[in-house]
Chains A and B, each alone.
Chain A
Amino acid sequence: MKINISRQHIYLLSILTFFLIFVLLFSFALLIPKGKEYRENRIEFKKEAKELRKYQNFHNEVEEKLKKLQGENRRVMTAFDATFDPYRFQKQHRNYFSTLTISELSEVSDDDEFIAYEVNTTSEISSPKSFYEFLDAVNKSDWIISVEFPINFKREGEMIKSSFTMKVFYADNDSNRTKPSVNEVAE
């Protein structure tokens, strides 16, 4: 039996076969692996985006907590950052004393976070009540000040002469913060 295929058909068949092979090769060699990679990348991206959303939420929570803390402790934070001004201290507290003298400020301790300065104070009060009121006022002052031992009370006529040490605390959170110098302190 003789198969009679024309030259035209042979061309047609050849081109068809070539195209088919090209399409199959292109699909299996490039398109399908790329598609798989795309799918993997999309899943990975969604996972990362989800993680980021969680992280963003956590970030917002921490930020909210920080703002709340800053709001609640505004006075304390300002007090820790405030530079001790002996003139202002005297002005604010002279009502409790007949006389109030503040000595030079000297650094007593410096850990990584807080610096403590000591200042010696001599004063005259008319009654111990003034001293109690002064201690109450110190807690409401613009600085973080603790009144330290030793505290001396000595009767001098109608007045009581008192001498004590105060410790002023500063936050060392900012290295650029201006630290009080001796020149700033009242004699």
Chain B
Amino acid sequence: MKYSYITPRPKSAFTAEIQLLVTFFSITLGMLFITYFFLLFKDYTFLSDMDELAVVQSELSVNIKEMKEQITFIEKENLLAQKVYTQNTVLKDSIANLFDLVPQRITLSEAKLLENGLVLYGVTPNKDIYNFMLQAPLRSIFHRTYSSFYPAQNGWLRFVSTNYIDEEINLSQEIESEN
């Protein structure tokens, strides 16, 4: 027995309103999840980039340290080389001055240049020439000067002149000049 002439519509829980609601929230949630995963990914890349930066920075730091050490060492090398070159030049001038100091009439047979002294062996026609022409300039350079004479076969005199610079006086002079 029929009570209605129309065929009943199939009823579903997903009505048009619910479908609209689900679509809207799906899109919203999708965007939220995408944003969240984007942030997660960016955080991960930031952290890995930061680690990389730290590694690069530490490599740079090591490089800088090594280069600074090299710079210091080259400067020390240069300083020592200049000191050696100056020392050689000063030595050359000192020897040249020494030989210029000896007058024509006095003949040197041996010269010993010491760190703080000078020993000269030679022959002189007489003591006066030695005293005035060699000993006087030597006295002005050295703090202590000793001379001894021995007669030579040709009537001239052999002499040994020993001259020293006192190191203590040297040091004090250096300190004074530094001050």
Contact = CB atoms under 8 A, between A and B. Distances in A.
The answer to whether A and B come from one shared complex is yes
Interface of A: 8, 11-12, 15-16, 19, 22-23, 26-27, 30-31, 34-35, 37-38, 41-42, 44-45, 48-49, 51-52, 55-56, 58-59, 62-63, 65-66, 69-70, 73, 76-77, 79-80, 113-114, 128, 131-132, 135-136, 138-139, 144-147, 149-155, 169, 171, 173
Contact of A154 (B47, B71, B81, B110): B110
- Please list the 10 inter-chain residue pairs (A to B) with the smallest Cβ-Cβ separation, ordered nearest first: A135-B92, A41-B46, A19-B25, A149-B115, A146-B84, A151-B113, A76-B81, A34-B39, A154-B110, A153-B111
Interface stretch (B2-10, B62-70, B153-161): B62-70
Contacts, number: 162
A19 B53 contact: no
Interface size of B as a range: 35 or more
Contacts of A128: 95-96, 99
Contacts of B112: 150-153
Given A34-B40, A65-B71, A23 B28 contact: yes
Interface string B30-55: 00100110011011001101100110
B1 interface: no
Given A34-B36, A131-B95, A132-B95, A66 B67 contact: yes
Contact of A19 (B21, B42, B71, B95): B21
A152 B61 CA distance: 53
Contacts of A62: 64, 67-68, 71
A138 B90 CA distance: 13
B43 A34 contact: yes
B91 A135 contact: yes
Contacts of A66: 67, 70-71, 74
Contacts of B152: none
A77 B63 CA distance: 20
A48 B50 contact: yes
Nearest to B122: A155
A155 B110 contact: yes
Contact of B113 (A31, A55, A149): A149
Contacts of A139: 84-85, 88-89
Interface of B: 13, 15, 17-18, 21-22, 25, 28-29, 32, 35-36, 39-40, 42-43, 46-47, 49-50, 53-54, 56-57, 60-61, 63-64, 67-68, 70-71, 73-78, 80-81, 84-85, 87-89, 91-92, 95-96, 99, 108-115
B19 to A, nearest CB: 11
Chain A's interface: helix, strand, loop or mixed, by majority? Answer: helix
Nearest to B116: A149
Given A23-B28, A144-B80, 9 more contacts: A38-B39, A38-B42, A62-B67, A62-B71, A73-B74, A76-B78, A152-B110, A152-B113, A153-B108
A163 B28 CA distance: 99
A44 B109 contact: no
11 contacts: A12-B18, A15-B18, A31-B36, A38-B39, A45-B49, A52-B53, A69-B75, A113-B76, A135-B95, A149-B115, A154-B109
A44 B53 CA distance: 12
